[in-house]
Amino acid sequence: MPGKDPERSKRLTAELWAPRLNDAASPRAQAIVLIDLARARLTDDDPMWSSLAQQLGKYLKAKG
pTM, rounded to two decimals:
0.74
Confidence grade of residue 2 (pLDDT, cut at 50, 70, 90)? low
Whether the predicted pLDDT of 1 surpasses 70? no
CA distance 46 to 26: 27
Domain locations along the chain: 7-63
Number of residues that make up the chain = 64
30: Cβ contacts below 8 Å, ≥ 6 apart: 21, 24
Quick one: how many helices (H) and strands (E) in the chain?
Answer: 3, 0
Confidence grade of residue 58 (pLDDT, cut at 50, 70, 90)? very high
Confidence grade of residue 22 (pLDDT, cut at 50, 70, 90)? very high
